[in-house]
Structure 1
């Protein structure tokens, strides 16, 4: 990569409907994206934060509420955020005791993340947290600028995806599509960083797909 060209920040944005049955799928997709980015060492902390932030929406905004999950890598942090349409109820830790069955969510997020908060808007709010790069030390990684650790090689990402799916972790149809779109976006991001035009590459890819499908048909 050209030293004068700054690496773009990987980001995964995923609209979803807040339902208990969907929490595990969001955790798995988050883990997959971190694997694709070469940041699997942050997987446990990230999955916990996703679980608790999504569950917070279910409990306090309502089951079935539309929301958007964003996972973004910056220079020193992994930022996880959930945007929902409720602007009146601001989440806060409830001071749960060790025997409490509920109320631990944001306390767990606060314990894992370096910082967290809520950003209010006219038509909703965003609850977010940032996990420091130093959390990779817990699994043998080295602390330092997180963005520089991102693996931008599309071949490596494809191999990771193949191994992830081959390891007995099947995805639902919608999740398969989400993973495919995410992988394509990662490849295009890598090509753009090398100076290629993503639209041109997509055009060539579509022409090749039509040729293959025509041959098969």
Structure 2
């Protein structure tokens, strides 16, 4: 049982859009929300920067309104970001632009935060990609933290069958249901002992928010 780990499902997703400056804020917001759901808060800022610079490169060198697609996936322990557009001629380059320069630093910024990046050319499209280190051991792993480890050990116990064997499959979905049951039981325990269950839940959520910021 000590070796049990709940696996995180991170399914690749695509987002088609038109490359316009007005789209950048929305892309950054989507990246933040999605990586939060994937349990990767530590790479959100770097991912936002990379997507912003790669899309800005399309706007600047291919043109406003270019049909573009953002693809987000896992490549082993790395987060992979891909921006595809239909122009195979305008290739991103790494320029040694001066700090005060207003342009030319986009891929240099990507290069500074990404583990690696590159360009793939197709017949009628190109893909600019980069990969960010996540600190995970595998694509379905999760970030280590003392509170997370303690919670996982508790959930493994909650998911045991009557004969002491683990629930099959031992998945995040099973753990989620167990989590809801544990929270409900603890709130009932508080109310039974004359405590304000709602106030305790509010305090717990405040601590949770403090742990993720």
TM interval, short-chain normalised:
0.5 to 0.7
Query: How far apart, in 1, do the equivalents of 2:139 and 2:42 lie?
Result: 11
Tell me the residue number matched to 1:58. Answer: 59
Contact kept in structure 1, 2:82 and 2:128, CA below 8 Å = yes
Tell me the residue number matched to 1:31. Answer: 32
The structure with the largest alpha-carbon Rg is 2
Query: How far apart, in 1, do the equivalents of 2:10 and 2:34 lie?
Result: 13
Query: How far apart, in 2, do the equivalents of 1:114 and 1:89 lie?
Result: 23
Residue by residue over 1:68-125, the C-alpha shift from the partner in whole angstroms, topping out at 9 and shown as x without a partner, is 0011123210000001000112110122011111111000000000000000000010
TM-score, with normalisation over the residues of structure 1? 0.61
2:141 aligned counterpart, secondary structure: helix
Query: How far apart, in 2, do the equivalents of 1:106 and 1:147 lie?
Result: 29
Contact kept in structure 2, 1:31 and 1:47, CA below 8 Å = yes
Residue by residue over 1:22-77, the C-alpha shift from the partner in whole angstroms, topping out at 9 and shown as x without a partner, is 10100110110001111111111100001001101100110100000011123210
Contact kept in structure 1, 2:10 and 2:139, CA below 8 Å = no
Tell me the residue number matched to 1:80. Answer: 81
Does residue 147 (structure 1) correspond to residue 140 (structure 2)? The answer is yes
Between Structure 1 and Structure 2, which shows a larger proportion of helix residues?
1
1:27 aligned counterpart, secondary structure: helix
- Tell me, which stretches of 5 or more residues in structure 1 are unaligned? 135-142, 151-189, 192-217
2:94 aligned counterpart, secondary structure: coil
Query: How far apart, in 2, do the equivalents of 1:90 and 1:123 lie?
Result: 13
Kindly report the root-mean-square deviation, in angstroms, between the aligned alpha carbons of the 2 structures: 2.4
TM-score, with normalisation over the residues of structure 2? 0.62
Tell me the residue number matched to 1:130. Answer: 131
